[in-house]
Structure 1
Amino acid sequence: MQPTSTASVAKAAPSMTVTKTTAASVPSGKSQKVDNSVDKKKRRKARKETWASYLYKVLKQVHPDTGISNKGMAIMNSFIIDIFERIATEAARLCLYSKKSTIASREIQTAVRLILPGELSKHAISEGTKTVTSKHLGAAVSFVSVV
């Protein structure tokens, strides 16, 4: 293995320009930092989708004078995500068993029956059916309130 010369290292990175200034060239006597003129775009933060606004609307429908903390909202948000994920997974499994490629309302209803216990599944199914059959746009909020 041969040692690399400084000339070959300088050729490796021709795109970066480095500007150095000495203390003598700066009038105030302070030295400046090395300036790398590589333009970087600022990245936007990825937006997180949450159910917070919908949960807050349901809370105000049920208890208008009650609030919720950020930590409580985070717990409720993760609960809703977990329940929906369980329902979607079970509905997908039911489609696999019946050799269908589309998750229909029937698979969702069956998944809800399997996942939610007793009376809760009956209420969820009735609210879901009411939401699907009605033309009301805000009806989806009532479905979230049951689950």
Structure 2
Amino acid sequence: MKVKQGDKGKKKPVKEPSPIESESEEAVEDHDVYKVDEAGLKKPKTEKATTFSSYISKVKKQVHPDMRLSKSTVKIMDSFIEDFFTRLCTESSNLMMSVGNKSLRAEDVLRAITLILPGEIGSHAVSEASKAISAYEMDKESRKSA
């Protein structure tokens, strides 16, 4: 490490990149980070990946409190849920546009559920969703009256 002479005679350490570091991409990225910090700018925030692992564990504890899930199982369940939500959103959006609505309604989501999920599991999901919608509307009305 070399020492650089400052304006008022104080010695400041200067970091010199080694020949190996100067050729690598990491050194270039680190060099850019120093420039951002020196300029007083903030680093761009990276988006956090949305995971459903906490919800998966809560539901699992309700159903089977003694069982455990491995990390790979949770990752598989997480990708399954993400895929299902993507399909549901796409189908709901297509139904909304085909009807000519400009906003998504609960009925569109219920129809999308029936189209995506087959048989008994679809009817069970629709009944649970209808229960949740009616509970939400009752809570909304009770808050208005209070």
Matches within 5 A, 1:85-104: 85-104=86-105
User: Could you say if the C-alpha distance between residues 96 and 38 of structure 1 is closer, same or farther in structure 2, counting changes exceeding 3 Å?
Assistant: closer
Alignment match of 2:16 (pick from 23, 34, 42)? 34
State which structure, 1 or 2, has the greater radius of gyration over its C-alpha atoms.
Answer: 1
- Structure with greater contact order relative to length (CA < 8 Å, sep ≥ 6): 1
Distance (Å, rounded) in 2 between the aligned partners of 1:133 and 1:100: 22
Identity of aligned residues (%): 36
Deviation digits for residues 94-126 of structure 1, max 9, x if unmatched? 111111111111101110110100001001001
User: Could you say if the C-alpha distance between residues 34 and 95 of structure 1 is closer, same or farther in structure 2, counting changes exceeding 3 Å?
Assistant: same
Structure 1 position 131, deviation (Å): 1.5
Distance (Å, rounded) in 1 between the aligned partners of 2:103 and 2:43: 41
The residue identity in structure 2 corresponding to 1:111 is: A
Residue aligned with 2:47, SS = coil
Residue aligned with 2:66, SS = coil
Structure 1 position 49, deviation (Å): 1.5
Distance (Å, rounded) in 2 between the aligned partners of 1:106 and 1:99: 14
Alignment-derived partner of residue 76 in structure 2:
75
2:63 equivalent to 1:62? yes
Compute the TM-score of the two structures, normalised by the length of structure 2: 0.64
Which sections of structure 2, spanning at least 5 residues, go unmatched? 5-13, 18-30, 137-146
Matches within 5 A, 1:1-147: 21=3, 33-34=15-16, 38=35, 40=37, 46-135=47-136
Distance (Å, rounded) in 2 between the aligned partners of 1:46 and 1:95: 29
Q: Alignment RMSD, CA only?
A: 2.8
Report how many aligned residue pairs link the two structures. Answer: 109
The residue identity in structure 2 corresponding to 1:34 is: E
Which sections of structure 1, spanning at least 5 residues, go unmatched? 1-18, 23-31, 136-147
More moved, 122-131 vs 36-45: 36-45
Compute the TM-score of the two structures, normalised by the length of structure 1: 0.64
